[in-house]
Structure 1
Amino acid sequence: MEDFVKNDVTDQFDQENVLDKIVMEETGLLESDSDKTDDDTQGADESMESLMDMYEESFKRFEEGEVVTGKIISVDKDHVLVDIGYKSEGQIRIQEFKDEQGNIDVKVDDPVEVMVEFWDEEEEVVILSKEKAAKVKIWEEIKKAHDENGTVEGIILSRVKGGFSVDIGVAAFLPGSQADLRPIRNLDEMVGQTFTFKILKYNRKRSNIVLSRRAILEEERDAVRAATLESIHEGKVVNGIVKNITEYGVFVDLGGVDGLLHITDISWGRVKHPSELFSVGDEISVKVLGLDAEKERVSLGMKQLTEDPWASAMEKYAVDSHVTGKVVSLTDYGAFVELEEGIEGLIHVSEMSWTRKIRHPSKMVSVGEEVDAVVLDIKPENRRISLGMKQVVPNPWDVIGEKYPVGTIIEGKIKNITDFGLFIGIDEGIDGLVHISDISWTKRIKHPSEIYKKGDVVQAKVLDIEKESERFSLGIKQMEPDPWETVAERYEVGKEITGTVTNITDFGVFVELEEGIEGLVHVSEISKEKIKTPAGKFNVGDLITAKVMNINGDERRIGLSIKRLEAEDDQSLLSEYIDNMAPPTSSFGELLRENLQEKLREDDDDDAEK
């Protein structure tokens, strides 16, 4: 047994010597002693040492799971042979070199990183894996990136519950909250894109990796923010990107720092909503109005980049000057007109028309319409300009009196009817009023619509023109003489007349003598007997005969009496009786005759006084 072991060791030693000799011969290091010099001897020793290292390395056995670098030495249909510096080549399945289309992407002498999967002792074959080596390397990179706060690159494959699936060489998870600085509206837009990520945590055993893109963006933002805050100051003009638009202003990204451009600082003119002027992503120039570095608040202005137009408004818009502008807003009291960006004037409703009473400016102008006006007043310190639209044309009331002097007969259409009169169109925008009392001399009119309707053409006489109060008074009844001026000639006092009862009241009876002319029989003049009311004694439409007692043309009254007419009849009968009496035969008869005659004279005097 000892001899066997001794012989085996001797054989092994002899084999090694033989191998050494072969190696040296192959490399040309084995020379005759006579040919050697000192330098040659030293070089040969170094080469020998290197070759011995290589030789020993060939017998080194790699651990399973270890990753090494080898060189491809051959490729067949099933395997790829790789020289990893061991006495036996390693094998890799050909499938690991096929791409998605099934093409083999490998050639002899290519370097390749592989992992030793296991040793086949019986077959003396080493099984290798390129794919597993790649994964081992990836996990090493993941560990390094996590430990050293580094980054990895990956492509987002798909959306999954709560976030995304990312390929960084191995499958990883990107939570939705870590995908960006702000919530993403359309998550599908990120699928297929390549980004850089940080490793929040990982577990190799469970193949669990959690990524964050937001952490990288926050670091970049913080760095840019710090640089931006150091570079800006009040009064500096900077460029920024519109980041968000609200009803009260625009948020502008200045480079890691958001500044607010308030709606009042966008333009010297009127801005209804910032979205009218900006869109998200627009690049704009703004001026820094205020800066709070501690709170990282920046106030911005855009209108401050240009001169305030009110600074020169007094020279440009002098009082009485004619201007043209666009109506930008309507209120109950007037219209705002933009003369230029930043300068608006107000046309009050009272300054829109010389003749029309405007209840709302929309009756005269509309938003967007261009109008001509006259500057009535300007106060730059209050940023106010008062404008007048009616002043552009002459005031028709200045010439209406010359065109239609008092007494002129005009003809026009009835434009409106009210309970107090008729409005007749005269000139453009000027209406004349016929008061209800000036429609007829004699008729009692409760409402003008009893006689006229809108659109009727009528004639009237100009009675009065008041320019200050803009009143034009007309009369229809003045077109004919006043019948009351001659009523005394037609109805003398004491004359007996006949008329029709038109109205019965408690104080008397109204009797129409002619159209529009009425007389009153007072209740005390109806009968010798005292009566409380004439109701029941007369009816409307009855014909009545009475005596004219008095006439008052100024007050348009005629007093009538039935009682006096009856008394006259009685006196006439008495007088006739006296005249037909026989001559008195005694003093008593003479005295009776004288008393009757005296009574008749007193009655005549009473009638004359009334």
Structure 2
Amino acid sequence: MTDMQSLLQEQYLKSLAGIEDGQIVTGTVVQLNNDYVFVDVGYKSEGKIPVDEFIELPKVGDKVNVAIINKEGKGGQVIVSKKKADAKERTEALKEAAENRTPILGKFLKVIKGGYEVDLGADYRGFCPLSKADVSRVEDTDSLIGKTDYFIIDKFHSSTKLKSVVSRREYLEGIIKENKEKFFSSVQIGDVVQGEVKSFTSFGAFIDLGGFDGLLHINDMSWGHVTRPKDFVKKGQVIQLRLINVDPETQKINLSLKHMQEDPWTNFEQRYNVGDVVKAPVTKLTSFGVFIEIEPGIEGLAHISELSWTKKITNPKEVLNIGDVVEAKILGYDLDKKRVSLGLKQLSENPWDTIEERYPVGKVLKGKVVKITNSGAFVNLEEGIDGFLHIDDVSWVKKLKNMSQFCAEGDEIDVAVSRVEPENRRIRLSVKNLEGNPWQALRKNHPKNSIITGEISNITDFGVFVKVDGGIEGLISKFNLVGPDQEFDDKILENYKVGDSITAMVVEINPQTQKLSLSVKEMIKKNQENEMAKYMSNSQDDSDTFSLADMLNAKKEN
């Protein structure tokens, strides 16, 4: 060996004197090839590291921590290992993290019985119980596989053959607590915050503000009417909301989407006036009316009575559907209560305004029976307008027990207008007015105390019904079937039968009540009085003397 070689070897050995096997040193990458990374450990010696020990290959000049495996390796080359350096460093880091309960990075590897296996780095494995994998219940266990996050080490095992027990939940709860404390100490009502839509309820949506929730109530989603929260926000959507209420004691947080925009009611009067016509969609149908969205945030109500002048609408669904675009007139509004009254019928002429001109009293027309009731029938006169024919207005003389004796639904009948009430939207009709009133004719031809002849139409236990001119029936009570000097006997009714002709006196005739009372007794009595008067007149002509006895004898003879 030459002197020069001896000198170099001596210097090399001196440079290795401060290096111990197992020591961690920092080296500099000086060269790379397909198989190795060469690292200068700073002692005039280079170590080579297989490339598979690197997750990401370094570049020349990068610093790398390595462990000295053998400072006097084969051929005098230092043998180093990055993997062992990483393991030693990781062991110290995990041990320190466990002692101080500081978060350590890990990765969910796979699902095992009761929880997950977690990669803690450098061949260390952890076990995370399912209950400690998240702050909320994990519905889909596979959803966490491959996820990298921080964990708290509950129990550390220095051997890589044993699994340390870790908790991601504790770490997350710490972050949530920190975020919540920061939130409540820094925000004010009116601030704009950002959150993610987490879940829905019937009354709104919960917004994740960083591990803790705020409530977006259904009434705070829009200035207008909201029926479905999902129509305004979607699950997983990141949105900005205005803070409208915060209570640090109860930790309740109320958020608003509608307050991100100006309340459209504040300048309503600048844009709309009573009498304006708007064209807008139907947003809701109720039993009492229709809600119409005049503009986003402003809905008006068209009451069911304001939908049509003539149609009898029992439910708005009969004429409208949600989404229909309609024209409506603004009838009034209340800014304090945020209400607008609308009308659809006001955009067409009210047919009742001219009803008296088109249907004067006495006008004869033909109509279809559309409905039968106990008291009469409704007859359609034109679209949306029906007249009512009362059962008493069918005939002057016939007494109907029910309307179906005269007509049925769908029949075409002739009627006359008898009364018009535009203010009440009523038209009364009559069939009997198509002919003259037989009662008036009867009273004219047969006034009270006149004699009339008719045909017996019915015999009852209280008297005899007699049909006279015009088909009118009058009643002779059984007590009025005998003369004034005869004693009454129920057997008197046996002397009569239906179809017999009978003459009697009119004792009462009332066209208003359609009542005709007749009497045989009064007719006989009247005849006796006439005969007596005639007899007395003749007797006075023959003699100036006429006694009471004569008069009685004469009456007896008669």
TM-score for both structures, normalised by structure 2: 0.75
* Counterparts of 1:385 and 1:260, CA distance in 2: 29
Q: Deviations over 1:391-426 (max 9, x none)?
A: 221111111111122221111111222222222111
Tell me which amino acid in the other structure corresponds to 2:132: Q
Distance 1:472 1:247, change over 3 A: same
Q: Are 2:478 and 1:499 equivalent residues in the alignment?
A: no
Q: Are 2:437 and 1:473 equivalent residues in the alignment?
A: no
Determine if contact 2:420/2:427 at 8 Å carries over to the other structure: yes
The answer for the alignment partner of 2:129 in structure 1 is: 175
Deviation at 1:238, TM superposition (A): 3.2
Determine if contact 2:508/2:518 at 8 Å carries over to the other structure: no
Determine if contact 1:228/1:257 at 8 Å carries over to the other structure: no
The answer for the alignment partner of 2:487 in structure 1 is: 530
Q: Are 2:109 and 1:157 equivalent residues in the alignment?
A: yes
Deviation at 1:186, TM superposition (A): 0.6
The answer for the alignment partner of 1:441 in structure 2 is: 396
3-state DSSP class of the match of 2:349?
coil
The answer for the alignment partner of 1:108 in structure 2 is: none
* Counterparts of 2:390 and 2:228, CA distance in 1: 53
3-state DSSP class of the match of 2:94?
helix
Distance 1:568 1:338, change over 3 A: closer
Deviation at 1:148, TM superposition (A): 4.6
3-state DSSP class of the match of 1:382?
coil
Deviation at 1:173, TM superposition (A): 0.9
Deviation at 1:377, TM superposition (A): 1.6
Distance 1:320 1:281, change over 3 A: same
Q: Are 2:373 and 1:418 equivalent residues in the alignment?
A: yes
Q: Deviations over 1:298-341 (max 9, x none)?
A: 33222112221111222333122222333333333322222122
Deviates more, 1:472-481 or 1:414-423: 414-423
* Counterparts of 1:248 and 1:343, CA distance in 2: 20
* Counterparts of 1:153 and 1:351, CA distance in 2: 68
Q: Deviations over 1:574-604 (max 9, x none)?
A: 9xxxxxxxxxxxxxxx999965884289x7x
Determine if contact 1:268/1:308 at 8 Å carries over to the other structure: yes
Determine if contact 1:114/1:131 at 8 Å carries over to the other structure: no
The answer for the alignment partner of 2:143 in structure 1 is: 189
Determine if contact 2:289/2:304 at 8 Å carries over to the other structure: yes
The answer for the alignment partner of 2:310 in structure 1 is: 355
Q: Are 2:6 and 1:27 equivalent residues in the alignment?
A: yes
Deviation at 1:480, TM superposition (A): 0.9
3-state DSSP class of the match of 1:426?
strand
Q: Deviations over 1:197-254 (max 9, x none)?
A: 3321124578241012233334444454455555533322233322333222333334
Determine if contact 1:503/1:511 at 8 Å carries over to the other structure: no
* Counterparts of 2:137 and 2:362, CA distance in 1: 84
Distance 1:539 1:341, change over 3 A: farther
Q: Using the aligned pairs only, state the percent identity.
A: 32
* Counterparts of 2:467 and 2:526, CA distance in 1: 23
Deviation at 1:145, TM superposition (A): 3.3
Tell me which amino acid in the other structure corresponds to 1:501: S
> Match for 1:147 among 99, 103, 109?
99
Distance 1:152 1:467, change over 3 A: closer
Tell me which amino acid in the other structure corresponds to 1:552: I
Deviates more, 1:442-451 or 1:528-537: 528-537
Determine if contact 1:158/1:164 at 8 Å carries over to the other structure: yes
The answer for the alignment partner of 2:341 in structure 1 is: 386
Distance 1:379 1:158, change over 3 A: same
Determine if contact 2:451/2:523 at 8 Å carries over to the other structure: no
The answer for the alignment partner of 1:322 in structure 2 is: 277
Distance 1:328 1:131, change over 3 A: closer
Q: Deviations over 1:58-85 (max 9, x none)?
A: xx9x9xxx8999xxxxxxxxxxxxxxxx
3-state DSSP class of the match of 1:381?
coil
Distance 1:530 1:154, change over 3 A: same
Determine if contact 1:415/1:423 at 8 Å carries over to the other structure: yes
3-state DSSP class of the match of 1:373?
strand
1:501-516 aligned within 5 A: 501-506=457-462, 508-513=463-468, 516=471
3-state DSSP class of the match of 2:270?
helix
Q: Deviations over 1:367-387 (max 9, x none)?
A: 333332222221112212222
Aligned pair count reads 494
Deviates more, 1:526-535 or 1:268-277: 526-535
Q: CA RMSD in A?
A: 4.4
3-state DSSP class of the match of 2:226?
coil
> Match for 2:291 among 300, 318, 336?
336
3-state DSSP class of the match of 1:397?
helix
Tell me which amino acid in the other structure corresponds to 1:417: I
Provide structure 2 residue ranges, at least 5 long, that are not aligned to the other structure: 26-49, 54-64, 71-80, 533-545
> Match for 1:260 among 202, 212, 215?
215
Q: Are 2:503 and 1:546 equivalent residues in the alignment?
A: yes
Tell me which amino acid in the other structure corresponds to 1:142: L
3-state DSSP class of the match of 1:399?
helix
Deviates more, 1:531-540 or 1:268-277: 531-540
* Counterparts of 1:355 and 1:600, CA distance in 2: 75
Distance 1:131 1:549, change over 3 A: closer
